[in-house]
Structure 1
Amino acid sequence: MKNIYDYSLEQLTEYFALIKQKPFRAKQVFSWLYQKDAQSFEDMSDLSKDLRNQLNEEFTLDVLKIKEKQVSRDGTIKYLFELLDGSLIESVLMIHDYGRSLCVTSQVGCNMKCTFCASGLLNKQRNLTAGEIVAQIIKVQEDVGQRISHVVVMGTGEPFDNYDNVMDFVRIINHPHGLAIGARHITISTCGLIDGINKYSEEGIQTNLAISLHAPNDEIRNELMPINKVYPMDDLREAVSNYISKTNRRVTFEYILLKDINDDIIYARQLAHYLRGLNAYVNLIPYNSVDEHGYQPSSKEQAEIFKSELLRLHINVTMRKEHGRDIDGACGQLRAKRNGVK
């Protein structure tokens, strides 16, 4: 069975032409899927019964199901989803003063092997389709009964290692007849795949780019993020600079603060030097400890010292509010536990 959420409006239009149906049927179905929250093809009351039966035979809306749900005291909800093939993935809903933000997963497992990250505890098994990423939003909206206003592709997997499906996903949720989530409310986070950044700079969409940096120099980044040995920091900086020039968009650099690893004030100065001249800001992230890796979060005092030094050196910086500390908050933790990783 085909996943109906894999289809863009254009692809649905082509499908209906193929089965000798009027093109406007595609907009009707799209509206039912994304505006009217149809739970089944039977709900699509303005389609003929024969057409609904045909769609029911060829497509499914039941792309994933909630396997487990953890609710934090701060309102954060972590979902463990089961896909049709039995694979498990995670999404995290965070409540902000500006709306509800969903962190979605783009791959089953991850091959980037960042040493602090729970996502890499299980190797990549496959890419998610565009529809499987879309379905995470649909299912969460259905579960909480409220609209998702912001989306970050920052869960398990490297989005630019699944480039085409992620871009199709973005176009579907951004489409005015789709979920109509504004481009500037969509963020894609990469660990630094330069080829992906270069392609992304040519897309012509006003979505946001975030770079998982997490280190002030190549020596530390090589230890934390093996991808740095392929795409070192100078090359990454050049790609980001080119992206900013082409898109006129500001870039976020994510920096997880790890005790005695990357949180010394000297490293704040190195980071400021690296970023000088870029239209960028730093998002400092308190670390959610992963037992398997042994890293510890920086103290609040040290985190404030690091942040203050960046501000002194005229670097725009924010400290991310902690979410889900009392649940399996780090990407991949819940899935790894359910797959028997200790």
Structure 2
Amino acid sequence: MNNSTCPNTSSPLVRHIFYAYLGLLLVLGLLLNGLALWVFCCRLRKWTETHIYMVNLAAADLCLLCTLPFMLFSMNKDNSGDTVLCQLSQGIYLVNRYMSISLIMAIAVDRYVAVRHPLCGRGLRSPKQAGAVCAVLWVLVVGSQLLRWVLKDQEGGFCFGNPSRQKPQTVVFSLLGFYLPLAVLVFCSLQVVTALGQRPAADVGQMEATRKAACMIWANLVVFVVCFLPLHVVLTWRLATGLNTCVIQDILHITSKVSDANCCLDAICYYYMTKEFQEASALAGTPAAKAHKSQDSLCVTVA
């Protein structure tokens, strides 16, 4: 792998655009995720599986956003050594990126179980079990990042300004942490959209609510792919070719910042997704649907 050190040749205009982008992400992300946490923790009396997942997702996004100023500070400093602040902020950043990815996967699985296997879902879905799933995901993600740090410690740790210090075995953690959730998310999303499309509509209102719910699933999948896929494609290319040129480092930097936008989009997408699924559930109106109300509520609701 080419471990050349690339000089910082970006123009003042590029740096200003970069700072403005980070500032916008910080303001919107802190506002949206902070508001989501306030609503879930202070305004809702009943906790559901989805609420627990979304609280953890908002917390992970907030933690990631809070590392951005430290990342910017570290990137503007001399990169010859890794400070404690740099290593800590990098670790928190990576933990919460892949925790967000894992939680999005968990929400998709929870929705899939509710829609495709409603009878089994009665025993598999509960707030306590959702909390246990979140706890396990936190342990796995934090543990994997600690292992990354141990594997890279002999090279000086891992830090924002040292992309050339990436080792193949540590990149594998990132790739597995994305491609596995991506496969699960695609499968679950297709299954849920298919199930919603096959559900007979009682009236125009039910049909429209079901259509909106399906659209939100597609929107969520598109947001996930657009935010995270470019970064991991570049990581895959670098691992496969062994190249780590300045151009690849610049592309990694750009795609990494694109992935950070997911912190803002999560709050918007999942708010409307929960709303549309609640409407789809509430508008079930045929006698047959009412006769199977308990089953239908599991089939079309994520909240």
TM-score by length of 2: 0.21
More strand by share: 1
Name the TM-score, length of structure 1 as normaliser.
0.20
Higher helix share: 2
